[in-house]
Amino acid sequence: MTHRNVLIAGAGIAGPALAHWLGRHGMQATLVERAPSPWEGGQTVDLRGAGRDVARKMGLERTLRAHATREEGIRFVDAANRAKAAFASGAFGGQGPIADLEILRADLSRILYEATHPHAEYLFGDEITQLSDTGKKVDVTFRNGPDRTFDLVVAADGARSHTRDLIFGDTTDIRPVGLTTAYFTIPRQPSDDTWARWHNATQGRTATLRPDNRGTTRASLSYLSALRGDERLAPDAQKKLLRRLFTGAGWEIPRILTAMDTADDFFLDSVTQVRMPLWSRGRVAVIGDAAYCASPLSGMGTSLALTGAYVLAGELAHHAHHRNAFARHEHILRPYVTRAQHLPPGVPRIASPRTRAGIHALNTLLRAASRPRIAKTLNRLLVPPAATFTLPPYGL
């Protein structure tokens, strides 16, 4: 085997998951992460289908459930907080808009870190600044630490991956879907129960409030957006923009805007997909959002990260040459990724109507989806294709 020593950029979800499986197959993983410690930010993510199967194979499903947010479902509410449509977490076999296993991204990342740090090396507070693929090894320059050499390098540092762009920058298509979202944590109030709430305002604006397992509430503000680069503004300018866009929108949005000013985890970004013609070049590969971000609208990001890590490690273990392993990884996984990236027609506009009539039509459609015959027709709109992948066994 020509790949016993693997450097992974990113210690979020895909990176530690890959480190786990590399260790199970007898390979050594080193992870480099710009943050000074394991991730603490981020909103709620869900585990579905193949991603949950991977977590079960890792022996982590019970731990993940113990740290779940335990959301009971989601209500679509009007300005007076009246539910116009609702889906319990058990709807669609537990794979609907709110899955029956929801967990904070920070908790998932920490659990993966704790499961891997005994056998994987972590380099926090550092990042890769240069890669040189010699054909036999990859020479790596770090911003803070000494230069080192690895058999392989894998970029798993998110949709805006700097590591990926060092090697694949000329081929990566970062494709905005026309929506910008801000995420942050706010104090919990009595109106926040165990159900997530979604409110549509006119002009393509939406707000959500979701309970967590830490006694706080996770808020988001989203708006249909042209390609104007709001994500590149300074945080203060982004908050000013949100206040201008959402003032007067009603419901609990005044409360959200007030709490936004003191939130210490505020983050705004345009919602994007990442498309790449190839996921490897020489001895460097990409996985997770860095390779095939399907966007939060797909509901598939975590499943793709966990599944991609499992398959890549398995193929590296079963092929003597990394080139063959990379090719097989892509052959096996790309159809699954393609399905995940195929968003339903009209998304995100259909979920963010610009007019009152559009909001009424959306709520009517969602109410109808609770009826079995109609729900079957709307299955693709409300249920991500997470269960349409069978994990190769890899002898595990």
Q: Answer yes or no: do 168 and 206 share one domain.
A: no
Contact 316, 22 (CB under 8 A): yes
DSSP secondary structure string for all residues of 28-46: EEEEEESSSSS-----EEE
Q: Which residues pair with 59 in a beta bridge?
A: none
307 & 181 share domain = no
Q: Is residue 331 a part of any domain in this protein? A: yes
Q: Are residues 201 and 135 in the same domain?
A: no
DSSP state of 146: P
* Domain end (from 311, 341, 371): 341
Work out whether strand 128-133 and strand 138-142 pair parallel, antiparallel, or are unpaired: antiparallel
Q: Are 299 and 218 found together in one domain? A: no
Written as six digits, the tokens of 217 are 């509430």
Per-residue pLDDT, 376: 59
CATH of the domain at 219: 3.30.9.30
Of 155, 95, 106, 96, the closest CA to residue 131 belongs to 155
User: What pLDDT, on a 0 to 100 scale, did the predictor assign at position 2?
Assistant: 64
* Same domain membership, residue 145 and residue 197: no
Q: Given 303, 322, 341, which residue is the final one in a domain?
A: 341
Distances (CA, A) of 310 to 3, 67, 281: 16, 22, 20
Q: Of 326, 341, 356, which closes a domain? A: 341
Do 123 and 242 sit in the same domain of this protein? no
**pLDDT tens-digit readout, 250-302:** 999 999 999 999 999 999 999 999 999 999 999 999 999 999 999 988 889 99
Number of domains in the chain: 2
Determine the structural domain holding residue 281 and report its residue range: 5-73+104-174+272-341
pLDDT of residue 377: 60
pLDDT at 373: 64
pTM value surpassing 0.85: yes
Same domain? For 168 and 183 the reply is no
Q: Which residues of the chain have pLDDT under 70?
A: 1-2, 372-382, 386
The DSSP string of 321-371 is SHHHHHHHHHHHHHHHHHHHH-PPTTTTGGGS-SSHHHHHHHHHHHHHTTS
CATH number of the domain bearing residue 133: 3.50.50.60
In a domain, 347, yes or no: no
Are both 311 and 223 inside the same structural domain? no
For residue 287 the two structure tokens come to 């996985």
Indicate whether 151 belongs to any domain.
yes
Q: Are residues 213 and 336 in the same domain?
A: no
